[in-house]
Every structure is written in structure tokens, then in C-alpha cells.
Chains A and B, each alone.
Chain A
């Protein structure tokens, strides 16, 4: 796990090396201080040598200043390293998501991806910081203070040698015991938050069914579980305190007892005894910080795991088999015994044995009930999903032979759930073609019947859209999305229920514009409204993942029961 993540530290590796070095240096200077203090007491005071006292005092100040400088440098370097690491990690995840196929995207919810990019990355940032500083500080402190103590008095140092392994075992035990409990607590925490989120989103449903009390009970259960698990987890961690305190105090008492006898016997000086007490305090303060830091590191393990889950996700649609030089020659499409299922566990195929051949420049309408797999069918064409069985050919080649760039450049699609981004209208349209001139943009907008309303805004094409295009009506958004797709100059254009919020008159004008100006473009139109597909060259009727009928409006009215049903349910009574 660490190895997978370490590469994100590479760019800032020198800071990551320098930071612990500085921490180590800081500790070494700190360690000198009690030793110098002992010298002041035992030499300076004992010999009433004022000059020695002042000189040694000066050395102590010098040591403290050096420690201070190194300490500040350590902060600087570790900040650079950990924030750099965080930035690289965030970049790694974001880039990975950019490479995701639709199937990969479906596997993670948007909210969970956003949490991974934000909270989880922050946790890792923080953990790396703790690692660099605390995890260096305590061991270095432990070893060097013990050595220093040993150099002062070899007979007393065994107190440390007993205390340290006892502490290590005890703290290790605490962490192993608490880790699963913390994980459980985090899960309950997520559950509780999910309950709140759901409640807020559905507040109107809650209120209209008068379920406030029911919801409160649900929340009560969720928080109660959280309280239980947190008390269990934190209840273990508080043992930290007595363990550290009792060890520290036992050490002090032992040093006082054995040390005083040594001092009385003349094998040790008073100042040296005091410095021993000083070392105990130093070692244990650093251990206390370590154990508190460790909880942070341990809990961030969950974050790290979640991040690795994203980074390790296998992208299932790649350019592996593609011929990089191949471009799409024309807009012909051919489905040969194509079947598709969303996941291996699915009971049955979503699309079953589809055979369909579409000539370049043809206009195809697709109609079918909810869940009849209309969207699935068209999403296979730009290889947003991979066919499970059979073969799908575009322009005479298997879709897998093209690079995704080449294929998707030739196939433009207006998704059902479409999204505009914050920025101006023109910037949004430019997504279709980054190099389009303003004239080309206006032209595309005109074809999509969007120019009129755009120019009616005070800022015209420079109107700034909020996130998701919140300041536009549904029909306006749909028309912008169509214009955006037109700008890509596709050979194949797919409209997935893209004019549902547009009135029938405008819808007709859009189709008219398509017919007169995009005659060479293969166009696939999915629609609920029969009028949107009536004039298509051919109409495909899908039912439960199968093609139920293909033909022109008149043919289908004669031969296809489903089509006739839909037609009649919508057309009856129309003047």
C-alpha cells in the first residue's frame, strides 16, 4: 500500500528527506540541554565557578537556538513535502477519474469520488506530516536520550531499558486493539451522515408524509450506534494516558530512589540526577505526542485505502487494440449480434442480439419504453461502454480499432443527463471545438435554435452560466447542448432524448435545420415524443433490450403494435 502511494511523494522527495533530518538535528540539540544543566549544577555550583556557569549557560542558549532553527526548517520542509504530496495525490486521483470509462464512473458515486478528492486527500496530507515529524522525533529522542543518560551514568540507565519495551508493547497493543474499533466508528459515522443527507434531500417527502418522528427515530438509532462505537474506540485510547503517566512516574520514582542512593554514595552528582529526571520528561513527552499522532495516522489508513481503490480501479476501455493512424471514414454503423450487460452479475443482458445496419447520412429515430435500453444502445457507438458480445462497426471498422480520440471525435453525443459548466455560454459551446471562430459558434447555435434566446440576454454569448447552467430553463439548456455537439463537426450525431423540454414547434425547426444542413451526418434521435422521430428515414422500436421493429413511420404503423400504441396514445385528438 505504501509503495503504491510513495510515487506521489517523488517530486518532493528531497523535502521529505530533509524534514526528518532536521527533526533529528533538532532533537540532538535538545538532548544536550539537560546534560549542560547537569554540568552547571555539578561543576559550576559545586566549584562556585561563575565564569563556568555563564559559559555553559551560553552554550545552552546556543544549543536551544540551533534546535529552534532546525525545528523551523523541519516545519518548512515537511510542509512543502506533505502539501506537495497532497497536491500530487489529488492530481493522481483526478487524472485517474479523467481516464475512467462510463462503467468505472458508474461504480463510484459522485459524492464518494468528491470525498476521496477532498477529505481523504487532506487526511493523507496530515498523516504524511505526522509521519515525517512525530515518527522521527520520538525514536531519535528515545535512542539519543537513552545514550546520553547512559554516558552520564551507566548504572541508572537500565530504568529506561526496562521502561521502553514495556511502553512499546503497551502502545502497540493499544493501537492494534483500537484500529478495528476506529474503523467501525468511521463506518457508523458515514452511515449517520448518509442518513442526514438523505433526509435533507427528501425533506419535502418527509414532511408531506408526516414522517418527522420516524426520521428522528432513524437518526437517533444511527447516532446511538455512533456513540456506542466511538465510546468503545476512544475508551481504548484513553488507556494511553495511565500507561504513559504511570511509566513516566515510575521512572521518575525509580530514578529518585536508586539515583539518590548513588548520589549519597558519591557515584553520581546531584545535577546528573536532575538531568536524568529531565530526560525522562523529554522522552515521555515525545512518546505522548507520538501516540496521539499515531491515532491520526491509523485513522487515515481508511482514507488511504479509499484513495487506492480509485487509483487501482482498472480502466476497462483503453486504446490497447487501436490503430493510432485510423480515422473514421464515414458515418456508417453496423451492429452484428451485439449483446450487452452492465455487470457480470446481472441476471440477463440489457441488450440482446442486436442486428442493425445504418447507412452514412441516414436519420434514425429510436423509440421504446422506460428500461427498453435505448440509451444503452446508442452509448455503445462512441464506445462509452464496451459491447459484451458481438461486434459493433463504425465506418466499416470495429470500434475497438479506433483510438478513443478518433472515434469520439467523429461521434458527437448529446446525453440525456447533460451538464453545462460554469463559464460563459461561448466557453461552453467551445467544448465542441476549442478552435471554433465566433462565427462558427453562432452558426451552430442558430442550427440548434439557440441563437435567438442567447442574443436576448444582455451579455449575449458572454453570459456567465452558474454551475450546471442553473440560470437557464430546461429547454434552453438542451438547445445549448445540441449546439455544443454540432460544433464538433461529427460524422455521427446522437441525440438522447435531447429535446424533451423544447416545445414541439422549436423541436421541428431543429430537425428541419438538421435535414437541410446536416444531410451527410448520420443522426440518431432517441425521443419520447413520436413527432420527434416521425420524419426519420427509419425508426427503430426497442422493447426490453430487443429490436421489435425497424421501418418508416408508415411501415411501423402498419406492422408494429408497440409503435401504433405509442402513436395513438400521443396523437389522438390532435387537430
Chain B
């Protein structure tokens, strides 16, 4: 059972479709599911039958014998009937156990399937999806939504089947026993349903209020826990506490009301069913007195009238859970149904050697010589060596239709060149690199990679040919070694150390408690930002790709360390086309070409000396007359 969470009763948009979808998951294990349903029927049937047996037991087994000295023969029907009841109950209990056990297996496997589908789809979604959906939002698909779905499958759906069976069965049996008393029970049911729907409405409103208050408190707490160090520096603790108290008190009040409404169902339905029991008992007795009914029937009927209300209580308790679960499932399916990244590329990246005839030949092992394999219409393949020749031809781009980010950007990078982008935040530097690896698609204009239009290259292969080091480093839970190996899964330990040395990360790794086997957790929380950047450079180095993209890769590394990495970087960049984005102009000074971007356009280009001579924007930036933000 996952940690419990309060559920917001939410109405799903398309009931039927979502339920059908969940049912198809349920029936992935068709035979198990059918067995479970069969067992539910047996178990509910057994209870109904057992209760029904009260009537013949009393009427035929006991009443005729009262006051007699029964012989064994007289007791025969009684013994038989009790034996039968015992056998039926035993079957019922076993069936009940079996289906509950089966449901544990089914529900866990369904949840796994749902999680896998969800996670798998997330891996395939375009980056744009992650721009418009926060991590918190996507996380809650995995946590809140899957959890409520779990509750709904575990209690809701099975309960629903067994409840409907027992309600229907009990209803039929009651009708058989006494239509008149059944009418009385139905009147009570009508009253209860009326009350339930009224309470349900109010309860949903209270829950919404509570959810809003909870959101405010949680937001406040999160913000202040994140900024706790600032709170301390400014001795703001008292003010923060006071502000918190006000929000917390507000939450307490609405939560109390919401909770009271939510919990009210049980005593309400339970005790109303007792009132019903009392009325039925009196009415049954009256009918008995007038000779319309016998005692056994009244006894059995009374048991039925009790068990008739139990499923209603349970379903009314679970109603909000089921609604929330359906809404949650709908949100999950929405993600699963989102269209994944499109990839029509056919050109692949292969290792090659030079054959005896001087031609490139494909081979399975790593040779350090890459080629693009272009399938030809006649079924053969053409091999183009990967050199890192990148051309952008009049590229336009916009994240949102009316806000162009790049306008008519053209540039070329010859193999082995270092190209630098300089410009303010939002000028479009990172966007260019994101178009290169096709995180986003180019709407107008073309990008060529070694003469091949990048849309013709399979995305995975395109990305494998580029290594990126981003400003926001992200490390994974695991050892330092594993994190570097992320760049190339088959890298040997020696290659990893090599890469770390290249990035100048080796000295600090050696200083860590367990060296390369030090466990990193929480996105490398135990490392400084600079150290994390060094690790991500090592990770890119081990990947050993033809093209390198460094997006503010050393922004948090001090200039001296940066100078030390520079040698490593220089050897890393040697022979590779490199795109560099840097805030610190000292890092880009030795680039073959520096492109100054402003509002999505290249306003200046040239090498450092050219640009200084031009006395334009670059010159202003370099001499500190202009602020980069």
C-alpha cells in the first residue's frame, strides 16, 4: 500500500472510455481475470445462499422439533442443512480468499503495465512536451494518479462486481421471501440515496475548498523550505512562522469540515440501516402475528436487509475514490496517448574501416571512424564519412507561433572548427543547438550535416553523433564511475579515468571518500556545481562523438580551473566540430568564429580580433559596457 494521500474528488470527462481502457488492462491477464470474476460470483452466492438457509433451518429443522425429544432420525434434516451451510460457507470463504489473492497479482501487474507504458511514452515525447509540463505535474501522474488507480482497482472494481452481485442476489432473495417487506426496504434505500447525494454534493464542495487551502499551505512550505537559508540569514523566522500559522489555521478549519463530511457516510448509512432493521423487524413480526409470514422467513429476511446495506455503505465510501481514480486514469492515458517524437530518418550512423579497395566498409566494432549509411533506392548503401560539417541555411524557429526565436539564421561550421555563440538570454543561442540535435524541428530552412539534411538522419543516430554538455548538469543516482559511463555504456574503467583526467575532474574524484566508486545521490547533491560540471564534461568526453556542443558548460567552474580544463578541452575538441555557448567571453576568445546573436538574428560574426576591430556589440560586451542577461 503506497503512502496514503487525500483525494480530490474530480469528475472524469469521459467515463465510459476510461473504464473501457482500464478493463482492457484488466483483461491483459484474461484467464486470471475471468477466474477472479467467477470466484467473486461463488463467494457472493455462498453468502446469499447461507443466509437463505436460515429459513428452512428454522422452519423445518428447528420449529417442528421444539419441545420434543428428537431422535437422530428427527435431527437428520437439521444435520444435513447445517452440513450444507458449512460446506457452502467454506466454499465461499475459499473463493473469497482466492479472488483476493488473484487480485493482488492482477492489480500489481496492471499497475506495472500502466507505469511502464507511461514511463516508456515519456521517454519518447518531444522536448517541447517537457517545456509545457512541469516535473511536478508529470510526477503526480506516477504518484497520485497511479496510486488512486491502485485503490480503485483493489477496492473499487472488485468491490463493484461483488457489491452488484450481492445487491442483486439479495434483492432477488428478499423478493422471494417477502415482496411486501422488500418494498419497505426499497423505500428506505430511496431515502438513504437521497441523503447520500445531498451529502456528496456538499462533501465535494468542502473537498475542493480543502484542496485549495492545502495547495496554499504546501506552496508556502515548499517555497520557504527551499529558501530556508535566506530566512535564516535575514532572521525572518518569526515572520515566516506567523505567516505559516495563518495559512495552517485556515487549512485546519476547512480540512475538519471536509473530513467530517467525508467520514459521515459510514455511521449514517450504518445506523439508517439499523432503523430499517427495526422497521422491518416490527413489520415482519406484525405479518407473522397475522399469519402472513413464518419466523424463519422473518429471520432470514432480517439478515438480508442488513447485508443489503453493507455494499451501499462501502460503495458510498469508495465513490469519491473511484471518481478520482477515473479522473487520474484519464490523465495518465492522456500522457500515454500523446504523440511521440516523429522520426522518418533512414540514414544511420555506423563504424567503418577502410577496405582493401580503399572504400569504406561497415563493421561491428568501434573503430573511431564513423560514417553515415545512406540507403539507396536500389537497396545498396552509400557511406559518407562523418566529418562534422554543419550548415544552417536560413533557419527560422518559434516556440510559439507569434514569437519568432530565430530569424533567417545561416551559418556553416567546417569540420574541426570551434564556433561560439554569444548573446543575451533569449537571443536564441541554446535554441540553435537544440535544432541541431532535433530536440525541436525546424519549420523553415534546412540544416545539413556532412551534406545530409538532418531530417533524413535517424534521431537516435543523429544524437549519438553529438555530445552535449549543458549548463544545468544532471547526474544520476549511482557511482561517479557509472555517471561518467552514461556517455558510453561500454567504456572501460581506463577510458573513464582518461575522460575524467581530460575534464580535470580526476583530482577531485580522487579526493572523494570512495574515489570513482563514491555514490552520488540527489543529483549529485554532495558535489559543488563546478564539480558537477566537470563530471558532465567527462561524461561527454567518454562518449567521444564527432561533434561537441558545450552550452555554458563551465559557467560554474572558476577561471583557473577552467584554464586547466582548457588544455583537456582543447585535446577533446581537436578534430571535432564544437559549438560553444558561454557567458564568459574569455572562454570563446579562441573560437574560429564567434556569432553574436540578438533577438534571434546573427548581428555580428567573425573571430575575436575581427569583432574587436568592428567595435560593435561584441566590443561593448567585451569591454563591459553592455550587460548580458
Q: Are A256 and B231 in contact (CB under 8 A)?
A: no
**Smallest CB separation, A293 vs chain B (Å):** 12
Q: Does B54 contact A (CB under 8 A)?
A: yes
> Which chain B residue shows the least CB distance to A342?
B526
> Which chain A residue shows the least CB distance to B257?
A79
The docked-state distance in angstroms from the alpha carbon of A84 to that of B277 is 36
CB within 8 Å for A41 and B299 given contacts A266-B67, A503-B628:
yes
Q: Are B66 and A264 in contact (CB under 8 A)?
A: yes
Q: Does B492 contact A (CB under 8 A)?
A: no
> Which chain A residue shows the least CB distance to B437?
A208
Q: Does A460 contact B (CB under 8 A)?
A: no
Say which one of B26-34, B174-182, B222-230, B395-403 lies at the interface with A.
B222-230
Q: Are A61 and B229 in contact (CB under 8 A)?
A: no
CB within 8 Å for A369 and B119 given contacts A99-B237, A382-B233:
no
Contacts of B63 in A (CB 8 A): 270
Q: Which residues of A in the span 257-290 have a Cβ within 8 Å of any Cβ on B?
A: 257, 260, 263-264, 266, 270-271, 273-274, 277-278, 281, 285
Q: Are A249 and B474 in contact (CB under 8 A)?
A: no
Contact of A203 among B130, B556, B626 (CB under 8 A): B130
Q: Are A75 and B230 in contact (CB under 8 A)?
A: no
> Which chain A residue shows the least CB distance to B298?
A41
**Smallest CB separation, A461 vs chain B (Å):** 18
Q: Does B439 contact A (CB under 8 A)?
A: yes
Q: Are A75 and B263 in contact (CB under 8 A)?
A: yes
> Which chain A residue shows the least CB distance to B512?
A347
Q: Does B68 contact A (CB under 8 A)?
A: yes
**Smallest CB separation, B23 vs chain A (Å):** 21
**Smallest CB separation, A327 vs chain B (Å):** 14
Q: Does B614 contact A (CB under 8 A)?
A: no
Contact of B142 among A58, A79, A196, A203 (CB under 8 A): A196
Say which one of B239-247, B380-388, B441-449, B594-602 lies at the interface with A.
B239-247
Q: Are B241 and A95 in contact (CB under 8 A)?
A: yes
Contact of A71 among B111, B267, B464, B561 (CB under 8 A): B267
The docked-state distance in angstroms from the alpha carbon of A72 to that of B262 is 11
The docked-state distance in angstroms from the alpha carbon of A454 to that of B419 is 36
**Smallest CB separation, B270 vs chain A (Å):** 7
Q: Does B560 contact A (CB under 8 A)?
A: yes
Q: Are B225 and A295 in contact (CB under 8 A)?
A: no
Q: Does A56 contact B (CB under 8 A)?
A: yes
Q: Are A421 and B223 in contact (CB under 8 A)?
A: yes
Contact of A60 among B78, B278, B531 (CB under 8 A): B278
The docked-state distance in angstroms from the alpha carbon of A67 to that of B464 is 71
Contacts of A370 in B (CB 8 A): 528, 530-531, 556-558, 561
A169-193 Cβ-contact flags toward B at 8 Å (1 or 0): 0000000000000100110010011
B contact residues, total (Cβ < 8 Å): 163
The docked-state distance in angstroms from the alpha carbon of A76 to that of B528 is 52
The docked-state distance in angstroms from the alpha carbon of A214 to that of B229 is 37
Q: Does A154 contact B (CB under 8 A)?
A: no
The docked-state distance in angstroms from the alpha carbon of A49 to that of B290 is 11
Q: Which residues of B in the span 377-428 have a Cβ within 8 Å of any Cβ on A?
A: 425
Say which one of B86-94, B322-330, B353-361 lies at the interface with A.
B86-94
> Which chain B residue shows the least CB distance to A298?
B1
A208-229 Cβ-contact flags toward B at 8 Å (1 or 0): 1111101110011001101100
> Which chain A residue shows the least CB distance to B488?
A209
Q: Are A209 and B487 in contact (CB under 8 A)?
A: yes
Q: Are A30 and B274 in contact (CB under 8 A)?
A: yes
Q: Are A249 and B277 in contact (CB under 8 A)?
A: no
Q: Does B347 contact A (CB under 8 A)?
A: no
Q: Are B263 and A129 in contact (CB under 8 A)?
A: yes
Q: Does B571 contact A (CB under 8 A)?
A: no
Contacts of B464 in A (CB 8 A): 209-210
Contacts of B513 in A (CB 8 A): 347
The docked-state distance in angstroms from the alpha carbon of A210 to that of B460 is 6
Q: Does A361 contact B (CB under 8 A)?
A: no
Contact of A205 among B101, B470, B622 (CB under 8 A): B470
A26-64 Cβ-contact flags toward B at 8 Å (1 or 0): 100010010011001100110011100110111011011
Q: Are B263 and A79 in contact (CB under 8 A)?
A: yes
Main SS of the interface on chain A?
helix
Contacts of A565 in B (CB 8 A): 560, 563
Q: Does B82 contact A (CB under 8 A)?
A: yes
Q: Does B272 contact A (CB under 8 A)?
A: yes
Q: Are A249 and B275 in contact (CB under 8 A)?
A: no
A contact residues, total (Cβ < 8 Å): 177
> Which chain A residue shows the least CB distance to B529?
A370
B90-118 Cβ-contact flags toward A at 8 Å (1 or 0): 10111011001100110011011001100
Contact of B228 among A100, A264, A475 (CB under 8 A): A100
CB within 8 Å for A57 and B279 given contacts A41-B299, A83-B259, A216-B123:
yes
Q: Are A109 and B108 in contact (CB under 8 A)?
A: no
> Which chain B residue shows the least CB distance to A416?
B529
Main SS of the interface on chain B?
helix
Contacts of A36 in B (CB 8 A): 278, 281
> Which chain A residue shows the least CB distance to B74?
A264
Say which one of B2-10, B13-21, B574-582 lies at the interface with A.
B2-10
Contacts of A56 in B (CB 8 A): 282
Q: Are B486 and A211 in contact (CB under 8 A)?
A: yes
Contacts of B255 in A (CB 8 A): 83, 86-87
Q: Are B286 and A50 in contact (CB under 8 A)?
A: yes
Contact of B62 among A90, A216, A270 (CB under 8 A): A270
Q: Does B209 contact A (CB under 8 A)?
A: no
Contacts of A467 in B (CB 8 A): 219, 223
A236-253 Cβ-contact flags toward B at 8 Å (1 or 0): 001101100110010011
Contacts of A531 in B (CB 8 A): 624
Say which one of A142-150, A391-399, A401-409, A513-521 lies at the interface with B.
A401-409
CB within 8 Å for A72 and B239 given contacts A37-B277, A114-B222, A227-B109:
no
Q: Does A355 contact B (CB under 8 A)?
A: no
The docked-state distance in angstroms from the alpha carbon of A231 to that of B1 is 10
Q: Does A328 contact B (CB under 8 A)?
A: no
> Which chain A residue shows the least CB distance to B621?
A503
CB within 8 Å for A97 and B251 given contacts A76-B260, A198-B477:
no
Contacts of B583 in A (CB 8 A): 501
The docked-state distance in angstroms from the alpha carbon of A196 to that of B135 is 10
Contacts of B266 in A (CB 8 A): 71
Say which one of A115-123, A156-164, A440-448, A552-560 lies at the interface with B.
A115-123
Contacts of B231 in A (CB 8 A): 98
The docked-state distance in angstroms from the alpha carbon of A220 to that of B127 is 22
Q: Are A105 and B272 in contact (CB under 8 A)?
A: no
Q: Does B201 contact A (CB under 8 A)?
A: no
Contact of A245 among B96, B252, B437 (CB under 8 A): B96
> Which chain B residue shows the least CB distance to A215?
B123
**Smallest CB separation, A516 vs chain B (Å):** 20
Q: Are B259 and A65 in contact (CB under 8 A)?
A: no
Q: Are A129 and B1 in contact (CB under 8 A)?
A: no
Say which one of A1-9, A330-338, A567-575 lies at the interface with B.
A567-575
The docked-state distance in angstroms from the alpha carbon of A253 to that of B439 is 70
The docked-state distance in angstroms from the alpha carbon of A403 to that of B44 is 70
The docked-state distance in angstroms from the alpha carbon of A42 to that of B492 is 88
The docked-state distance in angstroms from the alpha carbon of A266 to that of B89 is 28
Contacts of B249 in A (CB 8 A): 87
Contacts of B120 in A (CB 8 A): 216
> Which chain B residue shows the least CB distance to A242?
B97
The docked-state distance in angstroms from the alpha carbon of A44 to that of B283 is 12
Interface centre among A37, A63, A123, A215 (most CB of B within 10 A): A37
Q: Does B205 contact A (CB under 8 A)?
A: no
> Could you pull out 12 A-B pairs where Cβ atoms are within 8 angstroms?
A50-B289, A87-B255, A102-B232, A199-B119, A208-B439, A210-B464, A227-B111, A235-B104, A241-B93, A253-B89, A257-B82, A565-B563
Additional A-B contact list (13), CB under 8 Å, known A68-B268, A405-B235: A33-B274, A53-B286, A94-B244, A194-B477, A200-B138, A212-B124, A241-B93, A246-B93, A371-B508, A418-B230, A421-B223, A528-B558, A574-B622
The 7 closest A-B pairs by CB, nearest first: A57-B282, A71-B267, A504-B624, A503-B627, A60-B278, A202-B474, A370-B530
